[in-house]
Amino acid sequence: MSKYILALDQGTTSSRAILFDHAGHPHAIEQQEFTQIFPQPGWVEHDANEIWQSQLEVMRKLMRENNVTAADIAAIGVTNQRETTVLWDRASGEPVANAIVWQDRRNAALCDRLREQGKAALFQQKTGLVLDAYFSATKLTWLLDHVPGARDKALRGELAFGTIDSWLIYKMSGAHITDTSNAARTMLFNIHTLAWDEELLELLGIPASLLPRVVPSSGVAAHTHAELLGAPLPIAGIAGDQQAATFGQACLRPGMAKNTYGTGCFMLMNVGRKPVASQNQLLMTVGWTLNRGGAVCADATDYLLEGSAFVAGAAVQWLRDGLGIIRDSSEVEALASSVPDAGGAVFVPAFAGLGAPYWDPYARGTIVGITRGTTKAHLARAALEGVACQNVDVLAAMQRDAGMPLTELRVDGGAARNDMMMQFQADLLDVPVVRPMVTETTALGAAYLAGLAVDFWASLDEIGAQWRMERRFEPHMSVDERQSRMHAWTRAVERSRAWVE
């Protein structure tokens, strides 16, 4: 009997591998950071080969250092940074350029042109997404237009496109696939028909031959090359990181919601088996598709409302790497807690533009209210408070769209371990914030999807019963103070908007 599910959690700044046991507990973890490439302001790239090598190394190290063989692993689940776009040569298996990361804004002007042509409603109706440079479609168009010879090769069927899940699975198995949750983030996938959309492909000049085959999020989709880990292993779970975290948080019923505090902040609410059109600039996306004989079926697909703030943990990284006011990210809570408030400073962490509900790619990071008395502690506190304020805007929009009040918000991600910030978040939202015992929910979701497919776990009910609370943060802030804080935040946001001309 296999003892573990191996989850690969390929994030924006690091590649991780985690072994989960039958109780859903992380048995062992390995992690490796990789290079962030910033060729120009607003551009963000990754070396796809470096991502693959880092992911392979942590897999092998995890198994080696824990005396785990392929026989101990029932299946592999893959979860990944979403929207990041890789284009590679089918013959050589080599990328034709650096991957363009989800944070990259180089195609804002193309999105503006499409919007001026009146296409925004078409994209939103078909894909559930706001027409924005955040998603993969216009990144792929840019690569086809700017990499010498790429468009001609694509037309000859010599190139393959994929998000990071597709790239990793291709390297592991040779299969060119993606799941519905990742396909739904490309701005090329029709979430109603659950298929690539020919009209959108034509509009963006993207040959259909580039695209991966779409498979369920849970189901044996491929097997690893035998030499990779000692024996062929089934790749049985695939989901974009935020959908995986929602599944890992056991938000399996309509109305349940979670917020992940990673590089960015991602709040998602399960709305059930039918997509809900957002009236408030949120995204409607596929959550996951469970296995029905290997086919992608609507009656096995859950949908999620999503609001994204592009910068969360990245603000703390900036305090560390950009300003040097902390040596390690773990120091930020103590520094921020050393002052009772931010001293009137308000920090809008719009380093990569503003996400939901503003969708302003031309906004930039802004700090207002600085005086001679402002210290590094005030800046640290303002940064954490700014991250929390973004989520209030998102939740308000989400509750209007879903037509249901939230009773609690489940949280995860690195910054969810920051007690000061979680208490402030509960105070601002006026909703209890609940942190689970297992905060590795992104990897856990991928593990659950893979484990369901190979009967490592028997049912959704078994998975739901494994969720355990570690701490609950109850709101304590007065109505007047909450309104005052959000008024200051709204004023600061207005000053950050449309900064790039």
First to last CA, the chain: 61
Give the torsion through C-alpha atoms of 354, 202, 194, 52, to 10 deg: -60
Contact by Cβ (8 Å): 229, 270: no
Task: Could you list the residues known to form a binding site for glycerol, using ranges.
Answer: 82-83, 134, 241-242
Q: Is the peptide bond before 357 cis (omega within 30 degrees of 0)?
A: yes
Task: Could you list the residues known to form a binding site, using ranges.
Answer: 12-14, 16, 82-83, 134, 241-242, 263, 313, 317, 414, 418
Task: Could you list the residues known to form a binding site for ADP, using ranges.
Answer: 12, 16, 263, 313, 414, 418
Contact by Cβ (8 Å): 500, 362: yes
Task: Could you list the residues known to form a binding site for sn-glycerol 3-phosphate, using ranges.
Answer: 12, 82-83, 134, 241
Residue with tokens 């929009």: 397
Contact by Cβ (8 Å): 487, 349: no
122 membership: H or E segment, kind and range: helix 120-127
Residue with tokens 């596929």: 286
Q: What is the DSSP string of 266-298?
A: EEEEEEESS----SSS-EEEEEEE--BTTB--G
Closest CA to 245 of 81, 364, 453, 380: 81
Q: What is the DSSP letter of 85?
A: B
Task: Could you list the residues known to form a binding site for ATP, using ranges.
Answer: 12-14, 263, 313, 317, 414
**Non-local CB neighbours of 395 within 8 Å, separated by 6+ positions:** 267, 307, 406, 409, 429, 431
Distance CA(363)–CA(437), nearest Å, equals 36
Amino acid at 261: Y
Contact by Cβ (8 Å): 47, 99: yes
